[in-house]
Amino acid sequence: MKAIKILNTIAVGIPIMLMLIGIIKQDSAGEFIGYALFSTMFTGFVQVMLGLSLLRKFPENIHYQIYIVAVVLFFVLWFIVHSFDLYDFGYLLLWIPPCLAVYLSILIYSRTNNEF
């Protein structure tokens, strides 16, 4: 469990640190902010893999099931928005990944090391 917590902390911390560096370094702010936005894909990949591995380890846990269903629902909605050019609605989808990241982080950090 300790490794999962560390991996999640690194995955969530990288975009935050890059964004803070971009805010502090005004001369190359756009570059670091761009890196921060790009690194959120890494964060999402790591979190989905962690969510799947936790669901595999604890298949009866309803919270991990909800997380995976929400991830699948996000990608289905994203596909629908881009397939039917519903870009006005698409901006609402931008709130889903950060909410999923917070939800999985809460699930990970609420477990004790002995439970894994």
The per-residue pLDDT for 33 is 87
**If pLDDT is split at 50, 70 and 90, which confidence band does 40 have?**
very high
Mean pLDDT of 55-67: 97
The per-residue pLDDT for 69 is 98
Q: What percent of the chain has pLDDT over 70?
A: 97
State the CB neighbour count (10 A cutoff) for residue 22: 19
Mean pLDDT of 74-87: 90
Alpha-carbon dihedral 63, 7, 93, 77, rounded to 10 degrees: -60
The per-residue pLDDT for 114 is 66
Name the residue with tokens 């909410």.
99
**If pLDDT is split at 50, 70 and 90, which confidence band does 101 have?**
very high
- For 43-77, letters b (16+ CB in 10 Å) and e give bbebbbebbeebbeebeeeeebeebeeebeebeeb
